[in-house]
Amino acid sequence: MPRRLPPLLAVRAFEAAARLNGFSRAAEELCVTPGAVGHQIKALEAWLGVNLFERGARSVELTESGRRYCGEVTAVLERLESCSDEVRRMAQTNEITLTAMPSFVTRWLMPRLGNFQARHPDIEVRVLASVPPVDFARDRVDLAIRLGSGSYPGLVARSLMPEHYMPMASAALARRLGRAGPADRLLASNLLHDEYEVRIPDQIDWPRWARAQRAGSTTDARWRRGMRFSHSYLTLDAAGAGQGVAMASSVLAGRALLAGVLAPLSDAWLAGPYAYHLLWPADRPLNARAERLASWIEDEVSVFLGDMKRRFKLPQTPA
């Protein structure tokens, strides 16, 4: 069934006249005569069956119907303008925009991104480090990486990798502490804490790790003492600098662990409740450039998880 749309040139003339408070100003913007604007608006009023303007000797004012219609028309035209700009941008550029949380960007993505650029020099990658939920249209984002349960309404979600946790410290501090068996050995250390970038339930922290490992009394206030950091990458930087012991994520600490900058203080990983996912809008299929970046990320994840499994017995089961 064909759409019953009003004459679009008339809608454009009406929006301009309402926004600019007059037919003459609208005519200047649209490069037509005031009479032409008036004729277009009369045609729209006839199509709608209502008066949109009250016409005076020297001025025009919106009627109540005109005000209501103007609000809706303005929103529709702004959306049309935005999506048209987006289509033009995608056609005219080789840029791909990816957003991820700051700690994931700094600790996992950024050290590897040069490999993608070397392999695909024709694709320009723009990275946004952000925490809030992604507004793909507003932020002009092609792909997002987020930590969560996998439930993302309206989005396609490819699972990348789960998180696992264990205590880690700098290599020098780890040698002094040995394996983190006795709880007292850890409690006597300077514990480092994340104040997580995203507040989601059941994140692994020192008290939860102690409870899972049955490492002494989980109500001991010492499990909550120590330095606190607003981002996980800061916590891991402090641990690498020998400032204390971090409850570290396999994903965020993995590269430092493989390089020997950090060392494990336990033989057992504790599975976290969430996993990293690659996201994009379900109603917007990936273009070829975004698909290349997505495939490269999945390949890098596969290599990383294989290295972590061989070197540090990282479980491959989902969190």
- pLDDT single digits (tens) 279-300: 999 988 899 999 999 999 999 9
pLDDT tens by residue, 31-84: 999 999 999 999 999 999 999 999 887 788 999 999 999 999 999 998 888 877
CA distance linking residue 136 with residue 194, whole number of Å: 28
Locate the DSSP E strands across 71-225. 95-100, 124-129, 143-148, 155-170, 191-194
Q: What is the pLDDT of residue 88?
A: 73
% the chain with pLDDT above 90: 68
How does DSSP classify residue 255? H
Rounded (to 5) percent helix, strand, coil in the chain = 50, 20, 30
pTM of the model: 0.72
How confident is residue 317, by pLDDT bands cut at 50, 70 and 90?
Answer: low
CA distance linking residue 223 with residue 88, whole number of Å: 54
pLDDT tens by residue, 150-197: 999 999 999 999 999 999 999 999 998 876 566 778 888 899 999 865
From 188-192, 250-254, 255-259, 304-308, the region with the lowest mean pLDDT: 188-192
Domains in the chain, ordered, with CATH?
8-92 (1.10.10.10), 94-319 (3.40.190.290)
| Cβ-contact 23, 17 below 8 angstroms | yes
How confident is residue 319, by pLDDT bands cut at 50, 70 and 90?
Answer: very low
How does DSSP classify residue 239? H
CA distance linking residue 305 with residue 275, whole number of Å: 13
CA distance linking residue 268 with residue 252, whole number of Å: 17
